[in-house]
Amino acid sequence: MPVAAGLALLLLGVTLSAAEVVIRPGDLESAARRWQGAVFVALYTGVPLLLLMALRNLGESDQGVRFIYLCMAATWSNDTLAYFAGRTFGKHKMHPVISPKKTWEGFAGGVTGSLIAAMVCRAMFLPELSVVEALIYGLVMAPLVPLGDLAESVLKRASGVKDSGQLIPGHGGLLDRIDALLFALPWTYVMALVTLRP
């Protein structure tokens, strides 16, 4: 699907969310808040996914696709090493109110994961990325991944729910699987634009 078509669908979703509030206003005092919530959700998930489509078509041949692989590798390596470092060494809580299990030791593991993934991807299939660019990419990814997790935790706690959905039982919902990627994709797109500039 072309990016323009995806953008049109996103804007259609925003428009329909407004129409739904007009057709079924319910409590008028909360109507604006409900519409704002619907628009926020559409933009929060829709814009990064549009960037994913744009990234896929970026550059020559499969260059953009390889940046998508880089994004996924750096995100999942960050998550994985943060989990194991936190479980093994975690003592200092990062944000106990929002996410009681996240620790600064886990964060350090995540930094290591992002950097390793960026360097391995560069060596294996992204020669366009210089060593310095790979290091910068990994260092910026390091805080973005846990921020994506924490942002989704804020939304769940504010809504009074434990999981974002039931599509993937036992995993906190579908949004839990992509929350970090939603924060990682814009940075990856910027990095791809800089790296693949003519």
Portion of the chain with pLDDT greater than 70, in percent? 83
What are the Cα distances from residue 76, in Å, to 80, 82, 128, 173? 6, 10, 22, 17
Is 161 found in the same domain as 143?
Answer: yes
Give pLDDT tens digits for 105-148. Answer: 999 999 999 999 999 999 999 999 999 999 999 999 999 999 98
Residue 166 is predicted with a pLDDT of 54
**Same domain for 2 and 71?**
no
In sequence order, which residues have a C-beta less than 8 Å from that of residue 6 and are 6 or more positions away?
49, 50, 53
111 and 13: one domain?
no
Question: For the whole model, what pTM was predicted?
Answer: 0.80
Amino acid residing at 5: A
Examine the domain organization and report whether 87 and 142 are in the same domain: yes
User: Are 101 and 72 part of one and the same domain?
Assistant: yes
* Domain stop point among 29, 57, 85: 57
Q: How many domains does the chain have?
A: 2
> Checking phi first, is residue 170 left (phi over 0); if not, alpha (psi -120 to 50) or beta?
left
Residues 132 and 182 placed together within one structural domain of the fold:
yes
Q: How far is CA 76 from the centre of its chain?
A: 11
Q: Does the pLDDT value for residue 75 go beyond 60?
A: yes
- Alpha carbon 13 to chain centroid, angstroms: 20
Residue 197 is given by DSSP the state -
Same domain membership, residue 80 and residue 50: no
Residues 19 and 108 in one domain: no
- For residues 186 and 88, state if they share a domain: yes
Domain region containing 91: 61-195
Regarding whether 52 and 65 lie in a shared domain, the answer is no
Phi/psi of residue 123, nearest 5 degrees: -70, -35
Claim to verify: residue 36 and residue 70 sit in the same structural domain: no
Same structural domain for residues 11 and 44? Answer: yes
Say whether pLDDT at 1 is over 70.
no
The string of pLDDT tens digits covering residues 12-32 is: 777 777 777 777 767 767 777
